[in-house]
Amino acid sequence: MTDTILVQRDGDVATVVLNRPEKLNALTKSMWRRLGDVFLELDADDSVRCILLRGAGEKAFAPGNDIGEFDKERSNVEQARAYGQVMTRTIEAIGGCRHPVVAQIHGICVGGGLEIAGLADLRICGESSRFGVPINRLGLVMAYSEIGALIRLAGEAVALEILLEGRVFDAREAKDKGLVTRVVPDAEVEAEAKATARRIADGAPLVARWHKKFARRFRDPRPLSPEDIEEGYACYGTEDFRIGRQAFLAKSKPEFKGR
């Protein structure tokens, strides 16, 4: 089943594809497991500067978990716990990835698909994309490990609106709710997502990773430590800072080394 999660490389940009187009990329337990493996592998790879995350085809990012698998994999509390442990590991792997992640969203992005897209740093969708979490119709809850990213992304009030009503809504409303970063014409989603990834990858990779780390640090209510504050100046000791400064003065494009 590893072919249901594809990894494609274009230099320093890695594209991760939810590859089950015949089912609109509906997620299975094995897909969740493999997706976590892939993100842990990419996180450890210093040559990666940005990750694009998308569903195969242009009909869907993902409609959530495959309900057809539930009889075998999620039909009781014990099975659900095992399934949830796999999901939690993957959610932590994506959410904790040190490289910038851009979600390229075509079409349907609901349920578990929205959970995954919501873990990206930037989310670019088409005008016809649809969003929501209609799991109240299935008698399911979004567990603690899953709901956290949605609340961080849109706030508690919006998260509860999405979960309590179970509506599926359009891209304009998703943008208003803070669920997506950018809405473009459907035909331009791929080009815009790739251009976004390229802009990120062309920047200093250490800086991108530091910015992600600093932003996450503010989730911790404890005051910043002297070590936290000191890390904000570490970039001035890097080769990339020297390269960037010289390129700026010379009005040339910097070629960052990641060190």
> Which domains are seen in the chain, by residue range?
2-200 (3.90.226.10), 204-250 (1.10.12.10)
- The residue with tokens 């790739």 is 194
Distances from the Cα of 45 to the Cαs of 14, 40, 51, 117, 205, in angstroms? 10, 9, 11, 21, 12
Computed from CA positions of residues 74, 77, 81, 82, in that sequence, does the dihedral angle turn out positive or negative?
negative
Q: Do residues 65 and 110 touch, judged by C-beta distance below 8 A? A: no
Q: How many CB atoms lie within 10 A of CB 41?
A: 13
| pLDDT tens readout for residues 82-129 | 999 999 999 999 999 999 999 999 999 999 999 999 999 999 999 999
Beta bridge partners of 50: 13
What's the pLDDT at 1? 46
Residues 6 or more apart whose Cβ sits within 8 Å of residue 2: 34
Amino acid at 144: Y
Residue with tokens 């939810």: 18
The span from the CA of 18 to the CA of 195, in Å, is 20
Q: What are phi and psi of 135, to 5 degrees?
A: -80, -10
Q: What is the mean pLDDT of each run of 10 residues along the chain (259 residues)?
A: 87 97 96 97 97 97 94 92 96 97 98 97 98 94 92 96 97 97 98 98 97 95 95 96 95 93
pLDDT, tens only, 21-41: 999 999 999 999 999 999 999
Tally of CA atoms within 13 A in the half-sphere of 38 that contains its CB? 22
Two tokens at 232?
A: 């904000």
Residue 2: per-residue pLDDT:
57
Which 3 state secondary structure label does DSSP give 99? coil
Euclidean distance between CA atoms 63 and 114, whole angstroms = 8
CA distance 11 to 135: 39
